[in-house]
Copies of this chain bind each other. A is one copy, B any other.
Amino acid sequence: MQNERYESGLKKLNEIDGEAGQKVIDALASVSPDLSKYIIEYGFGDIYQRPGLDLKSREIATVAALTALGHCQPQLNVHVHGALNVGCTAKEITETIIQISAYAGFPAAINGMLVAKEVFIERGIIEE
């Protein structure tokens, strides 16, 4: 059954975060494969499987929280990819980050926006 959580979680991770999620798993492999396992099982096997909030809204919530926290830029990168992968527009992502400027201040919003910029350039959505 744990295998089920892990397997459905890994599938969901790949569906949402794609290559960016796999890189996190790979980076942790030599130091703590168990932390990866928990991220997959709890994050993607439990939470992202839940009904009651669509994937687009889950990614908007995640982009908002990571922007506000301010010290999670590698994870924000992954979830800007994730938001785009589940159907958010670039506009919805930049609006979410602008929204956060009122709640966590301009520095958090600027730093979050520059992470979004990198992802948008990488995916050819904007030019440098």
Contacts and interface: CB of A to CB of B under 8 A. Distances in A.
Interface of A: 1-2, 5, 24, 27-28, 30-32, 34-35, 38-39, 42-43, 46-47, 50, 52-53, 56-58, 60-72, 74-75, 89, 91-92, 94-111, 113-114, 116-117, 120, 126-128
Nearest to A30: B126
7 contacts: A31-B120, A32-B94, A60-B60, A64-B64, A71-B111, A74-B110, A75-B103
Determine the main DSSP class of A at the interface with B.
helix
A32 B113 contact: yes
Contacts of A92: 52-53, 57
A66 to B, nearest CB: 6
A96 B52 CA distance: 9
Contact of A62 (B62, B64, B126): B64
Contacts of A116: 31-32
